[in-house]
Amino acid sequence: MSTFQAPKGTYDLLPPDSATYLAVREAIAGPLKNSGYGYIETPGFENVELFARGVGESTDIVTKEMYAFETKGGDRLALRPEGTASVLRAALEANLHKGGNLPVKLWYSGSYYRYERPQKGRYRHFSQVGAEAIGAEDPALDAELIILADQAYRSLGLRNFRILLNSLGDQECRPVYRAALQDFLRGLDLDDDTRRRVDINPLRVLDDKREYVQKQLTGAPMLRDYLCEACKAYHEQVRELLTAAGVAFEDDEKLVRGLDYYTRTTFEFVHDGLGSQSAVGGGGRYDGLSEMIGGPALPSVGWALGVDRTVLALEAEGIALDIPAATSVYAVPLGDEARRVLFGAVTELRRAGVATDFAYGGKGLKNAMKSANRSGARLALVAGERDLAEGVVQLKDLTSGEQTPVALDAVVDEVRRALG
């Protein structure tokens, strides 16, 4: 055992479990690739101010959970706690929005970091796949992203998830609601930190999970009663498009999400099999974020889906993904000459696209065959001095045990035929 261990609240992703995580990422990315979204990758750290402005100075993410540090050169940086601000920053820096082909549609996958109390389904290092559609205000874009996430989850076999939907209004109607909510909240029995939040972003109080806070929120003014006509019409179009697509959702008037940049459409995917940490992903429209970080007006919408949470949802539903074995063929040489010949055959099989492994380290036949079975391979190639003298290798079916001699120059064709 090493002297060192993974930092508290983090984890190492190892085979065979890592194959499930890869399959989840690919399943989420699949619908995006088919819908005009291009891949983007951003640094693992950014300027602290990017997240302070974009995510919001009143959020727990910025005030309590962000890993911030100062470089030797005096720069204030932070490990990225979420993906949207970084993606939008990169798009602006590269002037992707100036090509005239809006919206700019991007997807990404990576690790994110928040200093939280570690618990199942909530880690200090976690993995997400996200998507952003930048530069267009269109209910169809909001609906498209929700539908694509729904499609991704269903392609994995998930069924017991729900989509929560709400509208947070815009710069015209939300300030009126904000003032009414502040008046209500200032009459409650709240701690000092929450009272400060009432002054900075009162909508975040609605998202407070503490029972004594939630009990006092009964009778709080509802945002739906303050939405302007434009926001009402926009939200209704999103709802109609989802309904027409056969995507079920639930209206949740208290859904505000944890980031300050959301406007109008906001949504969350929750799975009832995960207990208190039920959210597996979410997102919404963020029409003012570009201006917050120094860019032009670029109405946008996006989401991020948690890979870790999705894996837990699969476990909760008892779903085991059908993941192909990493190895189809395992080569077992018996002797130095056989090592040289079989290693050449392994190279040719790999070039032909056949997943092939090799018995390294001079293992004897018994141990090598144990390794072949553990690898999940369907076939073994075995060769010794007598086989080579006859110009053949033995092709063994590891399921039936049937063994057939195959000419050396026909190995690739025979292996392909045997694998179907």
- Confirm if 393 and 381 have CB atoms less than 8 A apart: yes
- Amino acid, res. 161: F
CB 322 within 8 A of CB 20: no
**What b/e sequence results for 32-71 when a residue is b if at least 16 CB atoms lie within 10 Å of its CB, and e otherwise?**
beebebeebebeebbebebbbbbbbebbbbbeebbeeeee
Amino acid 56: pLDDT: 66
Q: What are phi and psi of 305, to 5 degrees?
A: -115, 130
Residue type, 260: D
CATH ID of 329-419, from 3.30.9.10, 3.40.50.800, 3.40.50.12370, 3.30.420.40: 3.40.50.800
Domain boundaries, the chain: 17-173+227-316, 329-419
pTM of the model: 0.89
Query: Which residues does the annotation place in the binding site?
Result: 82-84, 114, 128, 132, 257, 261-262
- Provide the sign of the torsion angle of the four alpha carbons 57, 132, 258, 139, taken in this order: positive
Residue of 65, 92, 59, 89 whose CA lies nearest to 78: 65
Task: Report pLDDT for 147.
Answer: 98
Q: What is the CA radius of gyration of the chain?
A: 27
Alpha helices in 16-138 (DSSP H): 17-33, 48-54, 60, 84-93
**Could you give phi then psi for residue 36, rounded to 5 degrees?**
90, 10
The 10s digit of each residue's pLDDT in 50-85 is 988 766 655 666 767 889 999 999 999 999 999 999
What value does the mean pLDDT of the chain take? Answer: 91
pLDDT at position 219: 86
Q: Report, as ranges of residue numbers, the positions in the chain whose pLDDT lies below 70.
A: 1, 54-61, 63, 257-260
Binding-site annotation: residue ranges for L-histidine: 82-84, 114, 128, 132, 257, 261-262
The answer to whether 266 and 166 have CB atoms below 8 angstroms apart is yes
The per-residue pLDDT for range 284-319, each reduced to its tens digit, is: 999 989 998 999 999 999 999 999 999 999 999 999
Query: Quick one: which of 270, 237, 277 has its CA closest to 252?
Result: 270
Name which CATH class applies to 17-173+227-316: alpha beta
Confidence (pLDDT) at 116: 83
- As a whole number of angstroms, the distance between CA 253 and CA 273 comes to 22
Burial label, 215 (beta-carbon count in 10 A; 0-12, 13-18, 19+) = exposed
Identify the sign of the CA torsion 316, 322, 327, 329: positive
pLDDT at 397: 94
